[in-house]
């Protein structure tokens, strides 16, 4: 193997490693820490949350349903999804809590955790290290 081929191979390996690193960052970089979001409970019933299944590379597994691909979900629930409206903006806040909690209709709560600010959907989705407390 010539010096060029050796350099090319190591450069290719470096580029592949960089690509893998960037993919891993892309998966976690959009998840942000959301703190002290004030949400008002408007009475929406909590629903069981079933997390998306990930393959060994951390990619979402997909399955086909009704002729289209959808993210595959676990058969085991990891908590409950509660819906609130953000005070002053009415932005939807969905938060996954590990157990059912007693929330009061029209009550104000301070919400936080790791999640996503989905601007196109005018909502927050908070799913990891979640916290809830009275405001």
Give the residue extent of every domain in the chain.
1-30, 31-134
Write out pLDDT tens, residues 11-52.
Answer: 888 777 777 766 655 554 478 999 999 999 999 999 999 988
Q: What is the pTM of this model?
A: 0.73
Q: Residues 45, 74, 65, 71: is their CA dihedral positive or negative?
A: positive
Give the distance from CA 11 to its chain's centroid. 34
Tokens of 107: 């009550």
List beta partners, residue 109: 39, 134
As given in the structure block, the two tokens for residue 102 are 């007693």
């Amino acid at each position: 193997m010539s010096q060029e081929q050796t350099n090319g191979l190591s450069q290719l390996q470096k580029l592949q490693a960089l690509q893998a690193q960037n993919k891993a960052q892309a998966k976690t970089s959009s998840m942000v820490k959301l703190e002290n979001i004030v949400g008002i409970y408007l009475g929406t019933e909590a629903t069981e949350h079933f997390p998306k299944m990930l393959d060994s590379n951390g990619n979402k597994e997909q399955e086909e349903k009704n002729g289209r691909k959808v993210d595959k979900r676990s058969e085991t629930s990891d908590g409950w999804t509660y819906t609130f409206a953000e005070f002053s903006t009415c932005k939807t806040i969905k938060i996954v809590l590990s157990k059912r909690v007693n929330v009061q209709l029209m009550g104000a709560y301070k919400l936080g955790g790791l999640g996503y600010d989905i601007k196109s959907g005018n909502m927050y989705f908070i799913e990891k290290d979640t916290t809830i407390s009275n405001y």
